[in-house]
Amino acid sequence: MNPATHVLLIEDNPGDADLVRLRLVESNPTIDVSCANRLAEGIVSLKEKTPALVLLDLNLPDSHGAETFRKVLEKAPDVPVVILSGQDDEALAIKALHQGAQDYLVKGGLTSGALDRAMRYAIERQALLRSLEISRKQQLEFKNQFLSHVSHELRTPLTCIHQYVTILLDGLAGDVTPEQRDHLSTVLRSVNQLGAMVRDLLEAARAESGKITLELGCVSIEELIRSAIAMLQPLASQKGVGLEAGVEGGISFVHGDPDRILEVVINLIDNAIKFTPADGAVTVRASRVTTDPDFVCVSVSDTGCGITVEARSLIFERLYQDPNSVDDSRKGLGLGLFIAKELVSLHGGRIWAASDGASGSTFSFTLPLYSLPKLLLPVITYEGRLREAFVLVRFDLRPKSRPARGNWKEVCKHARELLERCVYLDKDLVLPPMRTAGPEQTFFVVASTDLERSPIMISRIRGQMDKLPDLKACGSFELSSVAVPSSDLPAEISLQEKVEEVARRVTEIARAGVGIPINTQEE
Amino acid sequence: MQSKQMDPNQERNPTMPTQKILIVDDDPDLRQALRLRLRANQYDTVSAVDGYSAISQAYKERPDLIILDLGLPAGDGFVVLDRLRRDDKLSAIPVVVLTARDPQNNEQRVLESGATAFFQKPADNHELLEVIRHSLSQCGGKGLPS
C-alpha cells in the first residue's frame, strides 16, 4: 500500500480503536491513521482531509446502524468505506454493503493481513467504480450531443416538407382538389408526428441525464386539465371518443411547472384516445390523495383495450411498446410514458397504470399540493417563534405591447430572477408565480422587515431593475407593499396554527389586490 | 400577377404599404418556401445565404424586418445579431430567429442578443405571421410615418 495512505477510523470503543490501529500499523508502519469516536467528529475530519479509506463502526454515540453509513456516503461519496462490525451486528454490515460499502470486517477476528487485504481491495474497487461512473457520464454527454445534432439535422428537411405541404394546402400554388387536400393532410399529419418524435428523442435523452429543469409555480390543476381537454377535443371528436373532465370541488393548487404538467396530461389523454375505440370515453379526474393529503392525484381513464399485467410493469420503460395492443394508427417511439414518468418524479410525485382486464385502463399520477404555510414556515419563524413583522411586496409586470408567448415567458423569468437576487436567503421569500389569464404577471415577495423598512426592499428591487434595461423596455412595473399583521395572534395557539393564520392573511391581501387565488392548504 | 393567391393565414391589412423582409437562410428550398409564404401575405422579400451577405443585404436593402437562421456559413446567426445590434443604422430592425436548433439551449441567448422572437423549425405559419405583423407594427417600418 502507498506509504502515505491516510485512513480515517471512526470507532467509539477505545479498546477496539486501539486494536484496529495496532493492526493497521502492523500491516504498514508508515500508515497515517486519524481517529474519531463520534460521527460528527468523523465528518469534520472527512472534510478537512480526504482519506484513502474510512473504517467505520456503525453504532456510534451520535448515530446508529445503516444511517451512519448513509451519512458518511453523503459527505464523501468517492471514499471507500469498510465497515467494522461486531459479531452480533453482521446483518447490519451486510445491509451497508447493499448500500455501497466496499467490505466489512468482524472486529473479533481481525488480523493485520486480513485488514491490509480488505483495504487494498476496497480502494481498488472504489477507484474502478469511480472511473466507470466518469465514463458513464461521458457516454451520456456524448449521446446527448449526438441526439441534439441528429435532431437538428432532421428538422431541416422536415421543415421543408412542412413548408411546402402547407403552401399547397393553403392554395398558394394553385387550387387543390378535395382528394389532393385529403392526401396533403395525411402528409402534414405524418410530418407533425415525425416532428413530435424528434422532440421526444431529445427530451428523453435530457431526462435520462438529469438535464430537465422545472420552473415551479402555483398551478391550477383544474385550469390545466381544461386546457389539455380543449386542445385534444378535436382529435377525440374525430375518432368519436367522448372526452370529459371531473375535477373534485375545492381542489387546491399544485406546486409544479405548468408547461411540464400540461405535457404529462396531454400525453396521457392522447394515449387514451389512441387506444379507445369509437363510441368509447376518456375521463380525466383530479382529486385529493386520501392517504396523503399533501398530494393531488390526476387520473386518465379510458374504455379501451386495457393493459396486460406484464405490460403494466414495463409500460413506463424507454422504448416499450405493448406487443398485444390492437391499434390501427401508427405507433410512436415508445418514449412518451418514459418522459411522463421522469417529469412526474422530478415533481416528487409518482405515476402508475391500472387496468381491469379488457374494460379499459387508468393512468394516474400524483403532484404535491401548493402549500403556502409550508413555504412560509422557514421565512416567518425564527428560533421557534413567529418573527415580529413582515410585509408583502407586490411587483406588477405588464407588457408594453402584446408579446409572443415564449418571449413574455422569458421576461417573467427574468423578473423572477431579479426578485430572487433582491431577497436574503432564509429571511425573505419570492412566492411561486401564479397563473393568470392574461399576460400580466404579479409577483409577491414576503419580506421579513416591517412596513417602515419595506422601502429598502423596494429600492433594492428598483436598483436591480436599473441593471436590466431590456427588462424595463419590455414591460411596465409597479411596486407596492403592505404590512402583514401578526402581533394580534393569540399567544396560546401553536406555532403551526400561527403560520397557517398568517398564510391565510397573506392570501387575503394578495386576493384583495389582484383577485388571484393563492390557496392555503385548508381550502 | 392579379391572380396571385391569398394566404388563408393572412394577418395583414392589404391596404398597408408594402414592407420588405430579409430572409437569411442557407437552405435554398426553405428560402423559396418562405418567399412564397411572405409574398402571399403582401410582403416584399429579399434574401441572403450567409452571415456576411446578411449584413451587406441589410445595408443595401434596409429591410423592415429580418428572418434569421442561426446555423449559417460565414458568420452564424449570433454574429449577425451582434453586428446588427452594434450598428446604429441597423439596430432598430426587428429580427425574428427561425432555426432548427433547440430552444432550451438557444432561445434565451437569442433574445438576450437582441432578437424579437425565437421560433423552432418547423414553425406554425399562423404564429410566425402574427409575430412578424406585430413586430412590424411596433417598430414602425419604413412604409409607415415614423
pLDDT tens-digit series, residues B22-76: 999 999 999 999 999 999 999 999 999 998 999 999 999 999 999 999 988 888 8
Residues of chain A with C-beta less than 8 angstroms from the C-beta of B103: 406
Angle of helix A258-274 relative to helix A221-239, nearest 10 degrees, comes to 30
> Number of C-alpha atoms within 13 angstroms, CB side, residue B6?
7
The ipTM (two decimal places) reads 0.83
Query: So what's the pLDDT on residue A289?
Result: 83
Residues of A in contact with B100 (CB under 8 A): 151-153, 155-156, 159
Confidence at A407, pLDDT banded by 50, 70, 90: low
Tell me the residue type at B48. Answer: A
pTM for the model stands at 0.65
pLDDT in tens, B71-130: 888 888 999 999 998 888 888 899 999 999 888 778 888 888 888 889 998 888 888 998
Do B64 and B19 form a contact (C-beta atoms < 8 A)?
yes
pLDDT in the model for residue A325: 60
DSSP state of A78: T
What average pLDDT does this structure show over A137-142? 85
Question: Which chain B residue is nearest to residue A171, measuring alpha carbons?
Answer: B5
- Of the pLDDT bands very low, low, confident and very high (cuts 50, 70, 90), residue B145 is very low
Which residue type is seen at A91?
A: A
How many CB pairs below 8 A link A and B? 81
The reply to whether B3 touches chain A by the CB within 8 Å rule is no
Residue A438 or residue A431, greater confidence: A431
Beta bridge partners of B119: B98
More confident residue, A111 or A413: A111
Q: Which CATH code is given to the segment(s) B20-138?
A: 3.40.50.2300
* Percentage of chain A lying above the pLDDT 70 cut: 89
pLDDT score recorded for residue B142: 44
Each residue of A491-522: pLDDT tens digit? 888 888 888 888 888 877 776 655 444 444 44
Exposure string over A16-45, b if 16+ CB within 10 A, otherwise e? bbeebbebbeebbeebebbbbbebebbbeb
Q: What is the pLDDT of residues A344-395, one digit of tens each?
A: 999 999 999 888 767 789 999 999 988 888 888 888 888 888 888 788 888 8
Contact by Cβ (8 Å): A53, A123? yes
3-state helix, strand, coil in chain A (%, to 5): 50, 20, 30
The C-alpha cell at A107 is: 472486529
Task: Specify the range with the lowest mean pLDDT, choosing from A53-62, A105-114, A178-187.
Answer: A105-114
Grade residue A523 by pLDDT with cuts at 50, 70 and 90.
very low
Bridge partners of residue B48, in order along the sequence: B24
Of A153, A167, A401, the CB nearest to B33: A167
User: Least CB-CB distance to A170: which of B9, B29, B107?
Assistant: B9
Q: How many CA atoms lie within 13 A of A346 on its CB side?
A: 22
Separation in Å, CA B55 to CA A130, B24, B69, B96, B126: 50, 10, 13, 15, 28
Calculate what percentage of chain A has a pLDDT beyond 90.
20
* Mutation for B interface: A407, A408, A467, most B CBs within 10 A: A407
- A250 falls in which pLDDT band (50, 70, 90)? low
At A129, list the grid cell: 467504480
Among left, alpha and beta (phi > 0; psi -120 to 50; other), residue A450 is beta
pLDDT computed for residue A128 by the predictor: 92
For residue A461, is pLDDT > 90?
Answer: no
Q: Which residues of B touch A158 (CB under 8 A)?
A: 121-122
C-alpha span between A404 and A474 (Å, rounded): 12
Closest-CA residue to A282 (of A239, A325, A317) = A239
Question: CA A219, A221, A227: angle at the middle one, nearest 5?
Answer: 100
pLDDT in tens, A163-220: 999 999 999 988 999 999 989 988 998 888 888 888 888 888 888 777 788 878 778 8
Q: What is the pLDDT of residue A2?
A: 52
Which residue from A305, A306, A221 is spatially nearest to A256, judged by alpha carbons? Answer: A221
